[in-house]
Chain A
Amino acid sequence: MDPPLKRLTLPASAGSIAALSEFVREGAAAAGVDTHEFGKLELVLEEILINVARYAYTPETGAVEVAYTPAGPHKIRIEIADFGRVFNPLEADPPNLSRGLADRPIGGLGVFLVRSMVDSIDYRREQNRNVLSFVFP
């Protein structure tokens, strides 16, 4: 990844959703991402943030670090890192979307939505960090 334009560190908790999306929206606007895609962008960021808080940290708390750089026409590359235990959300089994209401499992939809909305998403463990890198949209 080229030197990122900007980087921000926030507490990994639901309370950071607004600040995280505001920060990245600014970069997305500068990169020329279609503003109609901003809702999806916010959703992707929220899902990743919440997964980090729940699976990389709980019961501890910690920080997430977000960085972005333009990635071609109207696209942005975003990296979200944390310092928690090893956690690769891309290893999660895909949710079964064909079950009826009574036995439809309640979890797993967040990662599914992220995968559906982003391009070329990758996970790497780098020193003591989990790093999720993807291009949007």
Chain B
Amino acid sequence: MNIEPTELEKAVLLKVTGRMDAENAHEFEQACQGWITHGAKHLIADLDGLQYVSSMGLRCFLSVAQKLQASSGSLILCGLHGLPRQVFEMTRLIGLFPVFETTQQAISTLG
């Protein structure tokens, strides 16, 4: 898994590519936590290049979103497709996140 961050005006964009499994999911959570500590209110996860996510990854998405929500922020998901999308749908986690097709759409909702 690779995580490539870009600081935007009102959010931090994290482009996540590859596989997120029990061995590396904590790297995503740590990266998010780092940006939250740094003052980020909104995180946008671009998941277009994410091929695989297991329950350990889902836990990390959930945990980061809960932290951000507690401080009136959000974890926004973009580009979900294939197996990761199926997994978010089966667990009904998809309804708990703002979800957009593209990062541009996500960025525009932040005004």
Interface residues of A (CB under 8 A from B): 14-15, 17, 39-40, 42-43, 46-47, 49-50, 95, 97-98, 100-102, 104, 106-107, 109-110, 112-113, 116
User: Closest Cβ of chain A: how far from B54's Cβ, in Å?
Assistant: 5
Q: Say if the beta carbon of B35 comes within 8 Å of chain A.
A: no
Binding site for A on B (CB under 8 A): 21-23, 51-52, 54-56, 58-59, 62-63, 65-66, 69-70, 82-83, 86-87, 90-93, 96-97
- Give bound CA distance, A120 to B103, whole Å: 40
| Cα separation A101 to B64 with both chains bound (whole Å) | 11
Checking A39, A50, A95, A100 against B51 with a beta-carbon cut-off of 8 angstroms, the contacting residue is A39
Given A14-B23, A17-B23, A43-B54, 12 other A-B contacts at CB below 8 A?
A39-B51, A46-B21, A50-B22, A50-B56, A97-B92, A101-B69, A104-B62, A106-B59, A106-B63, A112-B91, A113-B54, A116-B90
Among residues of B, the one whose C-beta sits closest to the C-beta of A116 is: B90
Contact B62 A106 (CB under 8 A): yes
Contact of B91 with A109 in the complex, beta carbons under 8 Å: yes
Which residues of chain B are near A116, meaning CB under 8 Å?
Answer: 90
Whether B96 and A104, one on each chain, are in contact in the complex, defined by CB atoms closer than 8 angstroms, is yes
Q: Are A47 and B54 in contact (CB under 8 A)?
A: yes
- B59 to A40, Cβ gap below 8 A? no
CB distance from A20 to the nearest CB of B (A): 11
Closest to A54 in B: B22
List 10 A-B residue pairs with CB atoms under 8 Å apart, sorted by A's residue number. Answer: A17-B22, A17-B23, A39-B51, A43-B87, A46-B54, A50-B55, A101-B96, A113-B55, A113-B87, A113-B91
